[in-house]
């Protein structure tokens, strides 16, 4: 990270809410006065223009004054793992290509959240996975996981994979916003505690379901109400605005 502070946001699977939670955390820290940005090294499943790509959503959620092309270094239309999506587009990107492409956005801010694509074992190039990118960036990891049944297994396996690679895990956040029927799943009440018990890694909170239009103001409020930001601030050496006064 060239001396910069960073935090990599990964998921236990695709579609677990990495984008909205990464955007919400960045928005909350920026609202406190932090010079924090966000980077999406590779995104797949669409092209910029209709407002639905991860980069466009991150700009909307964070309120950053930037362009989608700055946030996402590589974008591929096919809804596939980055390595396969790139091949389908006729490209063969390397890990160094990704690192070089992200230098501009990483150098623009004091701290940068990096949002991965899918989980940590997803192939992003012919010879590198998301975990390899994290190792090169030398950042800690924040894991986003589902709240309901099955998340214990998925989350513990993700943690074990990262730990075997010597990658530091800051904590995990459980996303309650993936199902309108979580109240019918009794495991939601205990999953976080059990994952903590077996891993020794802290749960930083349950991110709530947000119905209707989502904007940065609602996301900031949700983070302030449900997420323990202190470990994130400490990892990024960010102090709340009032601490400067």
Please identify every residue annotated as catalytic.
40
Annotated binding site for Mg(2+): 19, 54, 115
- Compute the distance between CA of residue 28 and CA of residue 36 in angstroms, rounded to an integer: 10
Cα-based torsion angle of the residue sequence 176, 180, 184, 185 in order, rounded to the nearest 10 degrees: -30
Tokens 């074990």 -> residue: 160
Q: What is the DSSP string of the chain?
A: -TT-EEEEEEESSTTSSHHHHHHHHHHHHHHTT--EEEEEEEEES--TTSS-SHHHHHHHHH---S-HHHHEEEEESSSS-HHHHHHHTT----HHHHHHHTHHHHHHSSEEEEE-SSSTT-EEETTEEHHHHHHHHT-EEEEEEESSTTHHHHHHHHHHHHHHTT--EEEEEEEGGG-TTGGG-TTHHHHHHHHHHHH---EEEEEPP--S---HHHHHHHHHHHB--HHHHHHTT---GGGG-
Q: Which residues are paired to 39 by β-bridges? A: 114
Annotated binding site: 15-20, 44, 54, 115-118, 175-176, 208-210
């Amino acid at each position: 990270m060239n001396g910069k502070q960073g935090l990599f946001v990964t998921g236990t699977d695709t579609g677990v809410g990495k984008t909205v939670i990464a955007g919400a955390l960045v928005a909350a820290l920026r609202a406190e006065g932090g010079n924090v940005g966000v980077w999406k090294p590779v995104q797949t499943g669409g092209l910029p223009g209709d407002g639905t790509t991860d980069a466009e959503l991150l700009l909307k959620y964070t309120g950053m004054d930037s362009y989608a092309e700055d946030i996402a270094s590589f974008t591929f239309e096919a809804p596939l793992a980055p390595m396969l999506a790139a091949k389908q587009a006729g490209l063969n990107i390397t890990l160094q290509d990704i690192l070089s492409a992200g230098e501009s956005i990483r150098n623009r801010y004091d701290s940068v959240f990096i949002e991965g694509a899918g989980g940590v074992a997803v192939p992003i190039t012919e010879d590198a996975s998301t975990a390899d990118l994290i190792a090169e960036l030398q950042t800690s990891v924040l894991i986003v996981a589902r709240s309901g049944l099955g998340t214990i297994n998925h989350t513990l396996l993700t943690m074990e994979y990262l730990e075997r690679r010597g990658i530091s895990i800051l904590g995990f956040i459980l996303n309650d916003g993936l199902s309108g029927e979580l109240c019918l799943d009794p495991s939601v009440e205990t999953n976080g505690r059990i994952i903590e018990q077996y891993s020794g890694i802290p749960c930083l909170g349950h991110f709530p379901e947000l119905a209707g239009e989502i904007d940065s103001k609602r996301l900031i409020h949700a983070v302030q109400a449900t997420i323990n930001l202190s470990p994130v601030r400490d990892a990024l050496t960010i102090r709340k605005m009032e601490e400067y006064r």
